[in-house]
Structures are given as C-alpha cells and as structure tokens.
C-alpha cells in the first residue's frame, strides 16, 4: 500500500495535505522519515507515525467515547455540536461514525467506528446488542414499573416496545438500571413518560458485555481493541458489574 493511500484512509487529511506533510518530514515509518508519497508501507508489520503519534494500522477503527451533554450524534446538524468534535486527530478517520444515536441531553457510552458491518450487527433488530442505562427519575420509583417494563410498554403514540428490564438501585429512591434490546427514538424517556414519570438524567453504562470504564472522563475517548469489540457482540448479564462500577449515575 502507498504511504499516502494508507494515511488518507486513516486520517482526516486530504491527499494534498498529506503530500505536504510528507514533504515536510512529518511522517516516519519505523523511526525513519519518509519523503515520498508513493513509498510502499506494510501497516501490519511497520509503525507509521504522523507528528510523532502512531497512526493505527488496523483496517477498521473502534473508539469508545464518554459522551457529555450538549452534543448530537450527527455531523450535519446546523448550529449543533457533534460528538465527532470530541475525537482527537489521532483517532479520527473520514468514515468514522457513531453507532446508533444518543439524545443530546444523555451521557455515557458511545461507540464510533468505520466498520459498517459491526455497526449493523450492533443495531440490527435481529441481533440488537443489549444496552444498559442508569436513569435518574424526577419522582420516586414505583415497584410496578419493573413489571410494566417486562411486559413491553406501549408508548403514548401507540408504538409498542419490546420487553425490557428495569431494576431499582438500592440506596436511592429514584434511580433505576434499565436494559433495552432495541433502540427507538428517545425510548427510555418515552417509556418512563408512559408510566407517568420523567427522566431527569440518563447515562448509558454498557453495550453488550462491555461497560463504560469508570476512569474515562466525560468528553474523553479511548481506542478499543478486538477483545473489547467481542465483548460488545456477546450479550451477557452484567447487572452486578454496572452496580459495582457506577452505583449512582454521574452527573456531567
């Protein structure tokens, strides 16, 4: 693969910008400065750096973002801040996109990738990965909520939700851990509204078997590896892990 071809697929720079950076000596391969855009490189065995930062050589990129409030999961909403603005240049690619959507006012775990097949696997109705949320309610939790979630709630517009899980968090009077198997628009908020309550805060803490790292600050992101991606695809019961990691939702 040509050096400029490799960098074009794995950075946000244009071919012209990359050629200029190469000529300026800002690209190294295994520590050696490269001055030719058509230099052949082998990403599987060589370390390629731009301004001293390693450019990941994997075919696809997987990034985990701790989404803060105030950001939308789109790049083309005028007047809005996009979650893509939070991804540092070293983890940015032209095709990088959020997997699914999160509300502007919601926080927590958001996966971004340029792997379209994985994105489909996570969001497709037949293989939808479980998503876990810690929810703060405006009014106290009512025990009958759990049964209504398990039955599948009908929203105010008549849309039917699949059966879901809602577990009251001990030591609180208004916090609940919710597990969904689908991703309807504003679903958790609409489900709680159908029960006569209101969501004050919502934080996604896990997708499949992968939990949001407690030490990942709001607004920060980190690179995911193959073993992390496999956890996402393997749904498993992680209620206790969520309790242990978060306890109460973090207000951001």
Q: In the block, which residue shows the tokens 């001990």?
A: 170
Q: How far apart are CA 89 and CA 130, in angstroms?
A: 30
Burial 28-37 (b: 16+ CB within 10 A, else e): bbeeeebeeb
Among 103, 114, 115, 201, the one annotated catalytic: 103
What is the 3-state secondary structure of 80-135?
Answer: CEEHHHHCCHHHCCCCCEECCCCCCCCEEEEEEECCHHHHHHHHCCCCCCCEEEEE
Query: Is this model's pTM higher than 0.75 or not?
Result: yes
Q: Is 114 a catalytic residue?
A: no
Spell out a b/e string for 105-143, using b for 16 or more CB atoms within 10 Å of the CB, else e. ebbbbbbbbbbeebbebbeeeeebbbbbbbbbbeeebee
Report in angstroms the alpha-carbon separations of 68 from 18, 185, 203, 219, 220: 32, 18, 9, 5, 9
Residue 190: Cβ within 10 Å count: 17
What is the SS3 assignment for 219?
Answer: coil
For residue 50, the surrounding DSSP H or E stretch is strand 48-50
Q: What is the pLDDT along the chain (252 residues), one digit of tens a residue?
A: 899 989 988 888 888 999 999 999 999 999 999 999 999 999 889 999 999 988 888 888 899 999 999 999 987 788 899 999 999 987 888 889 999 889 999 999 999 999 988 888 887 766 678 899 999 999 999 999 999 999 999 999 999 999 999 999 999 999 999 999 888 989 999 999 999 999 999 999 999 889 999 899 999 999 998 888 888 877 554 555 555 555 444 444
Q: How far apart are CA 105 and CA 244, in angstroms?
A: 24
């Amino acid at each position: 693969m040509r050096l400029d071809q490799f960098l074009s697929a794995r950075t946000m720079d244009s071919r012209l910008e990359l050629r200029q950076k190469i000529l300026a000596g800002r690209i190294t391969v295994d520590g050696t400065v490269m001055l030719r855009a058509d230099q052949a490189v082998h990403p599987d065995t060589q370390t390629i750096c731009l301004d001293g930062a390693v450019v990941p050589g994997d075919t696809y990129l997987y990034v985990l973002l701790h989404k803060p409030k105030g950001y939308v999961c789109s790049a083309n909403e005028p007047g809005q801040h996009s979650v893509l603005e939070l991804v540092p240049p070293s983890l940015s690619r032209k095709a990088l996109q959020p997997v699914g959507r999160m509300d502007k006012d919601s926080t927590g775990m958001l996966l971004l990738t340029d792997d379209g097949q994985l994105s489909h696997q996570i969001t497709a109705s037949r293989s939808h990965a479980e998503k876990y949320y810690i929810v703060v309610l405006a009014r106290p939790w009512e025990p009958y909520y759990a049964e209504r979630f398990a039955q599948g709630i009908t929203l105010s517009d008549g849309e039917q939700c699949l059966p879901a899980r809602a577990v009251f968090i001990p030591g609180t009077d208004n916090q609940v851990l919710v597990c969904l198997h689908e991703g309807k628009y504003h679903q958790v908020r609409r489900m709680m509204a159908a029960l006569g309550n209101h969501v004050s805060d919502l934080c996604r803490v896990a997708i499949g078997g992968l939990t949001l790292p407690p030490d990942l600050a709001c607004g920060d992101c980190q690179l995911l590896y193959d073993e992390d991606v496999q956890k996402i695809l393997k749904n498993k019961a992680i209620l206790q892990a969520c309790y242990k990691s978060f306890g109460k939702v973090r207000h951001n």
